[in-house]
Amino acid sequence: MKIIHRVLSSVLLSAAAVAGSLPVQAQISNPSSSSGSSAWYAPGSAYLGFNAGRSSYRQGCGTGVFNCGDKDNAYSLYGGGTFSNNFGLELGYVDMGSIDRGGGTTKAYGINLSLVGRVPLSPTWGLFGKVGTTYGRTSVTSTPGSGVTSGDEDGFGLSLGAGVSYDFTDRWSAVLQWERHDFKFSGSGRDNVNATTLGLKYRF
């Protein structure tokens, strides 16, 4: 866990540095307005965010009478910035929690880099999509004879995401998103872990 915490801290600091280095363009035409649309879509806008929700694994249960689940709590910490009115980059840490299977646990987490596209629906509502890659790590423990292979794996995999945002001020935005990350698991090759989360972003 100490390694994860060090990596997470590095990710957030790097994300803030990358986002903060983007050139700040023209000022908001009406900064006193309660609508955050123009601020959030302005090139050079940078933000930090936190999301939490539920993950969904697709791993099998193995054999025997062991407890088996496929859902757990998930969260992500991320930062990013826009380089045009509709596109930006986002870097963050994702943790999909752990599930019980095969008399042990299966967990997945990683670092994600994504290209983000946003389309406004109104002065406050917007849609967004993400495509990128996740450097993921998985750890599987199990009881011998359970049919579940123990071991640790890591590597890059495809990530996808989509959601809706509500920019209730020029500094704060609420987001509801679905995301999918491709992880490598010991003994079973690659598989997707999905998550549906709700969160907040702060623009600085």
The span from the CA of 189 to the CA of 197, in Å, is: 26
Beta bridge partners of 194: 56, 180
Residue 161, CA distances (Å) to 5, 44, 127, 140 in order: 24, 22, 11, 25
- 54 vs 38 pLDDT, higher one: 54
Nearest to 139 by CA among 171, 196, 98: 98
Q: What is the pTM of this model?
A: 0.80
Nearest to 51 by CA among 73, 75, 16: 75
Average pLDDT over residues 130-146: 95
According to the model, what pLDDT value does residue 189 have? 84
According to the model, what pLDDT value does residue 73 have? 98
- CATH number (domain holding residue 94): 2.40.160.20
pLDDT in tens, 16-34: 444 444 443 333 333 333 4
pLDDT in tens, 153-203: 999 999 999 999 999 999 999 999 999 999 999 987 899 999 999 999 999
49 contact partners, CB below 8 Å, separation of at least 6: 76, 77, 78, 79, 80, 92, 175, 199, 200, 201, 202
According to the model, what pLDDT value does residue 37 have? 58
10 contact partners, CB below 8 Å, separation of at least 6: none
Count of H helices and E strands in the chain?
A: 2, 8
The span from the CA of 100 to the CA of 106, in Å, is: 6
Question: What total number of domains does the chain contain?
Answer: 1
* Helix H or strand E encompassing 40: helix 37-41
| 104, two tokens | 């042990």
pLDDT value at 3 more than 50: no
pLDDT value at 111 more than 50: yes
Average pLDDT over residues 42-71: 92
pLDDT value at 89 more than 70: yes
Phi/psi of residue 165, each to 5°?
-125, 150
The span from the CA of 29 to the CA of 65, in Å, is: 64
Residue 141, CA distances (Å) to 13, 51, 52, 104, 107 in order: 32, 27, 25, 5, 9
- Please give the residue range of the domain that contains residue 66: 2-203
Number of neighbouring beta carbons within 10 Å of residue 69? 15
Pick from 34-43, 79-88, 177-186: least confident: 34-43
